[in-house]
Structure 1
């Protein structure tokens, strides 16, 4: 090796050391900078002349584990989802209150049933009537307050959706802007490393709100997709979430795939090509805070509202509805006659029959639906009971024709009952095929009069006076949001004696406890079936139990859901922390390592400088020798 080659090698070594020292300095200076990924110099060997070589610094490398980074982003999305679910469900528990404390549904219902029991044992004393009426009003008020709390949570989630959409948009735009700035830059360019740190930070922020899948192409452009394949960011282009808030929500404001019918804020995503996608209808997001908000607004909290609406509806119907068994039709074909006179919209006719082919018992519920736009009623597959909507005021011939068409495969036959039956009597029998056997039939009607001669009493109404009958119209079921509207019958408030007096001709004898006994029994002992929309039971096997059983059951389910959400949040937090620590172990600045590198560079710098000094001395000696 000649002296010039040696000098060139030493000088390239010094330059390489200077570049490396600059990187070490940057690492140390940014040791506390969030998102900074430790950098190392890229050096290559370059041959010089016939002998020897020099060192060249071609750029920097970011020391990160991409597999761990991708896992961290996935779990960050899961953490964002779990955090939001746990937070809202914890607040929902606060709405319900602590079991046994005052100001809870459980306490209000217990107080009402206790007051009814006291009314019975006191033989209808006026003071006991007043206390029972006050307990009923307190229960109605507690249902109103609970509804307000649930809808307040839905409104908060609705607002958070808008905030989360804006935050996600900002992160996506940041990634797109950095993609543009990275075009033309080598991945090893020191300035590119800084931009990629900023881009990774923006992607990490985005992963809190939506699930992300990131790929990087040959031109160092990050392309981001949801797990369902919707592109969020491309080369210099970003999608944008658009959210049109519906403001404060109520129990009747629900999501509908038809935007014209939907009562909640519409969340769409506008893709880089300009097309718009409904985020909810197309299940665009499956994790992250936005996914949690959507599930809470459209499912979890709606189900919570369904639960208390069902409680309100069952209580109202349990106290005011009278079920009358049908009259047996002897001979062949066998069956029953049921009188539909006086049935209000929402009242029902019910019958059971046995499919003798499979020996399966089936139930049919005929619902009085006077709004033709609400027909036909929807049923889950193999629903039992099956609900069929029909207008009871349409005449027996029209009703029978509609039912024979709707149940054409059941081997049942419907007709107007012949004289001497009334014109409002419907007959249901088998069709003489031997393939069906009618077992029972009945009608359930709402008693409106306070002194009808029956123990049934419309204690609770939809608002002050409107009866709750379960009416179904094109705008939905009367049960939806009932807990927020339920009140004590204003006629009863004006005359509390009707808590005991159920007849005026003749007048109910003093001390007669028929009505309070009935009311108490209906709330504590009578067994009812509850809608699967409450999250209890299923269409084929609905949850059954007393009003008290039902209340305890759904409160227990809600408490378990809140507990599980908290456990998931805690577990997800541990996973994220573990992955973050694993990522930091290779990607964050280690000051001990940097100081060790600094010492090595210092020694190498000194060695290269010494080589240059020796070469200079030798050159001086050669020059002097020539002189």
Structure 2
């Protein structure tokens, strides 16, 4: 081997080790940077005419375990989905209240029953009759608050869907631009790894909204498909469509067309949590808006219907005209089976017994349909009302098991249904977050290990010194030749 060839070999070694040192420093500097993938220099032996000519840097590659990355993204989507469901159910459970806290649904029914019993012992007491009216109104107001909370949650979910769809479209457009930029950098021979890090962060954001699988294409391009089978990006980004409504009422449903579903490139797609874009936070919002919240509303409406039925029975109050409402009304009217949706939010006290609405308190004792005041010592109606609250009745509607329940028992079933769903959601969330943490830890284990990088740096230093020593030796030989 000639001295010039030896010199070229050593120079190529210096160049390669310098590049490796640069990459190690970049790895260490970005050890805590989110989305950064460890870099590694790829080198290969160089030859000219079949003769060794040193080493060449083939490229710098990102070290990413695509299997773990894909599983972590699916875990992110599941954790977001279960977390949103659990948060909603916990919110409604808190609004219903825990028995014994004085403000819960069960406590308000118990307070109303206590007021009836107290008034029965002194039917002539205006104060006790007023307490009956006030506790009945508090019960109706609490059901109205629960109904309002459910519809507020549905409206928030609808708005969240709109914002997530807008973000999804923006992020997909950003990934498409990065695909193009990466292709341009690769074509010009430049390092595109930093752009690929940015793209990975954007794909991670998509995966929180919708669970996706990343498919590698030629020239470091990627395609994105949802686990439900929808194409989000393959050459061109898809456009997801959604139209928010702003205000949501109990009677508004997706099936009726009052609420918007999703479209992809203008074509309607199944929009539930089990649809092609379900499984992430976007699917959870559809589940809240179209499934969980309506189911909770159905239970509240069934309880409101049951209360109306207990007091509109002629056997309880013979003074009521046929078809007239009892103590509880649907905004002053009788119950309409075709308009049960949202009944809990419309439940009000009969104006005939409410002095604030021009009624008289004595009608709680003498009958809501009575024209004149009767015997102030008559406890017949108050006793019948108390018995009506405590009587076991099979609810005519709602998500119940069909067993006969008192009013307080039915309220307990409403809470039990929500609590049971919340506990199941908490269990699923616990599993999802544990899996997410495990996948994240596995991914981080493939990231930058500063100890390993320092060890590599020591080896690089030794290789650099050895190549420099070769150059010094060749230089010494050349100087000897010149001096001859």
TM-score normalised by length of structure 1: 0.71
Q: Is the 8 A contact 2:31 2:450 kept in 1?
A: yes
- Which of these residues, 520, 528, 536, is aligned with residue 386 of structure 2? 520
C-alpha spacing 1:492/1:321, structure 2 compared with 1 (3 Å):
same
Per-residue CA deviation, residues 28-86 of structure 1 (Å, 9 max, x unaligned), is 22223221111000111123456544211111111111110000000000111122222
- Which of these residues, 471, 474, 481, is aligned with residue 612 of structure 1? 471
Q: Is the 8 A contact 1:144 1:485 kept in 2?
A: yes
Distance (Å, rounded) in 1 between the aligned partners of 2:67 and 2:171? 21
Structure 1 residue matching 2:362: 3-state secondary structure: helix
C-alpha spacing 1:596/1:506, structure 2 compared with 1 (3 Å):
closer
C-alpha spacing 1:189/1:39, structure 2 compared with 1 (3 Å):
farther
Paired residues for 1:144-293 under 5 Å: 144-183=144-183, 186=186, 191-235=191-235, 237-256=236-255, 261-264=256-259, 266-271=260-265, 275-277=267-269, 279-280=271-272, 283-293=275-285
Aligned to 2:334: 467
Give structure 2 stretches of 5+ with no counterpart: none
Q: Is the 8 A contact 1:58 1:188 kept in 2?
A: no
How far is the alpha carbon of 1:565 from its aligned partner?
Answer: 2.8
Aligned to 1:70: 70
Corresponding pairs, count:
479
Paired residues for 1:342-357 under 5 Å: none
Aligned to 2:422: 562
- Which of these residues, 509, 515, 536, is aligned with residue 400 of structure 2? 536
C-alpha spacing 1:190/1:27, structure 2 compared with 1 (3 Å):
farther
C-alpha spacing 1:221/1:49, structure 2 compared with 1 (3 Å):
closer
Structure 2 residue matching 1:496: 3-state secondary structure: coil
Distance (Å, rounded) in 2 between the aligned partners of 1:543 and 1:153? 30
Residue 320, structure 1, aligned to residue 185, structure 2: no
Structure 2 residue matching 1:233: 3-state secondary structure: strand
**Which gives a bigger RCO, structure 1 or 2 (Cα 8 Å, sep 6+)?**
2
Give structure 1 stretches of 5+ with no counterpart: 324-446, 473-477
Structure 2 residue matching 1:545: 3-state secondary structure: coil
Per-residue CA deviation, residues 323-369 of structure 1 (Å, 9 max, x unaligned), is 9xxxxxxxxxxxxxxxxxxxxxxxxxxxxxxxxxxxxxxxxxxxxxx
Structure 2 residue matching 1:62: 3-state secondary structure: strand
- Which of these residues, 409, 417, 438, is aligned with residue 578 of structure 1? 438
Larger Rg: 1
Q: Is the 8 A contact 2:311 2:317 kept in 1?
A: no
C-alpha spacing 1:278/1:622, structure 2 compared with 1 (3 Å):
same
C-alpha spacing 1:200/1:187, structure 2 compared with 1 (3 Å):
farther
Distance (Å, rounded) in 1 between the aligned partners of 2:392 and 2:424? 32
Distance (Å, rounded) in 2 between the aligned partners of 1:191 and 1:51? 29
Distance (Å, rounded) in 2 between the aligned partners of 1:187 and 1:67? 27
C-alpha spacing 1:218/1:148, structure 2 compared with 1 (3 Å):
same
Aligned to 1:479: 340
Distance (Å, rounded) in 2 between the aligned partners of 1:60 and 1:453? 86
Query: Which is richer in strand?
Result: 1
Aligned to 1:600: 459
How far is the alpha carbon of 1:620 from its aligned partner?
Answer: 3.3
Aligned to 2:100: 100
TM-score normalised by length of structure 2: 0.90
How far is the alpha carbon of 1:156 from its aligned partner?
Answer: 1.8
How far is the alpha carbon of 1:184 from its aligned partner?
Answer: 5.3
How far is the alpha carbon of 1:526 from its aligned partner?
Answer: 2.4
Q: Is the 8 A contact 2:60 2:191 kept in 1?
A: no
Residue 294, structure 1, aligned to residue 293, structure 2: no
Q: Could you say what the CA RMSD is over the residues aligned between the two structures, in angstroms?
A: 2.9
Distance (Å, rounded) in 2 between the aligned partners of 1:84 and 1:573? 12
Per-residue CA deviation, residues 86-141 of structure 1 (Å, 9 max, x unaligned), is 22222223322332223322121111111222233335654433322222122112
C-alpha spacing 1:505/1:268, structure 2 compared with 1 (3 Å):
closer
Structure 1 residue matching 2:60: 3-state secondary structure: strand
Per-residue CA deviation, residues 163-202 of structure 1 (Å, 9 max, x unaligned), is 2222222221111111112225559966222111111110
Paired residues for 1:368-447 under 5 Å: none
How far is the alpha carbon of 1:609 from its aligned partner?
Answer: 1.3
Q: Is the 8 A contact 2:329 2:350 kept in 1?
A: yes
How far is the alpha carbon of 1:223 from its aligned partner?
Answer: 0.8
Residue 25, structure 1, aligned to residue 1, structure 2: no
Paired residues for 1:87-166 under 5 Å: 87-123=87-123, 125-166=125-166
Structure 1 residue matching 2:302: 3-state secondary structure: helix
How far is the alpha carbon of 1:459 from its aligned partner?
Answer: 0.8
Q: Is the 8 A contact 1:451 1:501 kept in 2?
A: no
